[in-house]
Amino acid sequence: METHDHAARDRLRLRQRRQDAVFAVLMMVFAVVMAFVVIPAGVRVPASVAHLPLSPRFFPYVLVGMVFVFAAAIAVMSVIGPPPLPPDAEAAALRPRWPLRLAALLAVLAGWVVLPERVGMAPLAVVATIALLLVGGERRIWMLGAVGVVVPVLVYLLFTEVFHVPMPAGPLLERR
């Protein structure tokens, strides 16, 4: 039994080491891309800059260099460093049908980004909340109505009427 535990822990540690190595390599690639592509393309340097520290590119270059160095340190440590603490297996356990749940959440988030101007904030809030309640496993109609309809409408009214935030009203609520 103890040997089995030991082997499981070693496997988790090995996975953690691999994860760290992959992360380090990705960060080094990110730093290189930033240094050679993104910073030259994304930061314009005026001709009048006389000293290097006054250049708008100076600080981003320093930071990207730091990211590279720290990532390299992680890469080295993942090979020769002490074994990492094994992650908590119980906490890392995934929910059943998690890809479906994640996809539903991503769809709701995408809706929040794209649809408010077209649909209006209040109707979208109602639909999004009901959708997430259903994804979470809620099936009681009265609960879906109370939490999925009443609360979003109240929150909408709080922001528009009390805090005077101009929310997109959408075709349903637009005052004619």
Q: Which residues, 128 to 147, sit near another protein by CB under 8 A?
A: 128-129, 132-133, 135-138, 143, 147
Compute the distance between CA of residue 105 and CA of residue 2 in angstroms, rounded to an integer: 40
- 132 closest CA partner among 116, 118, 148, 119: 148
C-beta separation of 172 from 120 below 8 A: yes
Asked if residues 120 and 169 have their Cβ atoms less than 8 Å apart, the reply is yes
> Could you give the string, one character per residue 105-124, with x where binding to another protein holds by CB under 8 A and - elsewhere?
x--xx--xx--xx---x---
Nearer to another protein, 130 or 172 (CB): 130
Measuring CA to CA, how many Å separate 47 from each of 26, 35, 40, 158?
A: 34, 20, 14, 51
Q: Could you say which residues in the range 57-86 bind another protein, by CB under 8 A?
A: 59-60, 63-64, 66-67, 70-71, 73-74, 77, 81-85
State the Cα–Cα distance between residues 91 and 85, nearest whole angstrom: 14
Q: How far is the CB of 171 from another protein (least distance, A)?
A: 17
Look up residue 66 and give its amino acid.
M
Q: What's the min distance (Å) between Cβ of 162 and another protein? A: 8
Helix (H, G, I), strand (E, B) or coil at 140: coil
The neighbour count for residue 24, using CB atoms within 10 Å, is 20
Smallest separation, CB 176 to another protein (Å):
22
Residue 173 near another protein by CB under 8 A: no
> In the range 40-59, which residues lie near another protein by CB under 8 A?
42-46, 48-49, 51, 53-56, 59
Provide the minimum distance between the beta carbon of 173 and another protein in the complex, in angstroms, as a whole number. 15
Among 87, 107, 145, 157, binds another protein (CB under 8 A): 87
Q: Write out the binding residues for another protein, residues 15-34 only, by CB under 8 A.
A: 19-20, 23, 27, 34
Residues within window 147-166 making contact with another protein, judged by CB under 8 A? 147-148, 151-152, 155-156, 159, 163-166
User: Closest Cα to residue 31, out of 65, 73, 3?
Assistant: 65
